[in-house]
């Protein structure tokens, strides 16, 4: 599968690590990260995008080295958030 051109974006994120995350995401919560985003930043993301939450040594169009994928883009009145899930190392 070919992805679009890699676009560097700086955004703060947090790894899920609380009891609330356990309730929200189940046992998989250790593989979840989230970031609050501006409405402009939300336009740059869509579900299934591959993302690098750690800086890659090489940016390639196939995003083979991506470590997370976008699972949800939430845009509501009080909450603008992007949810990421860690991709398997296999």
pLDDT band of 1, cuts 50, 70, 90? low
CA 20 to chain centroid: 19
pTM comes to 0.76
Closest CA to 85 of 35, 19, 10: 35
User: What is the per-residue pLDDT for 83?
Assistant: 93
User: What is the per-residue pLDDT for 61?
Assistant: 58
pLDDT digits (tens, 9 = 90+) for 22-81: 888 888 888 899 999 888 888 888 898 888 777 665 655 556 667 888 999 988 887 789
Distance CA 45, CA 37 (A): 10
| Boundaries of every domain in the chain | 15-86
- What 3-state DSSP class applies to 32? strand
């Amino acid at each position: 599968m070919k992805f679009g051109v890699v676009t560097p974006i700086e955004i703060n994120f947090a790894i899920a690590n609380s009891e609330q995350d356990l309730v929200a995401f189940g046992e998989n919560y250790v593989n979840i990260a989230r970031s609050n985003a501006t409405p402009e930043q939300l336009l740059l993301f869509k579900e299934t995008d591959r993302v690098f939450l750690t800086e890659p040594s090489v940016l390639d169009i196939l995003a083979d080295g991506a470590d997370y994928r976008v699972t949800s883009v939430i845009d509501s009145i009080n909450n603008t958030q992007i949810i990421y899930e860690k991709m398997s190392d296999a």
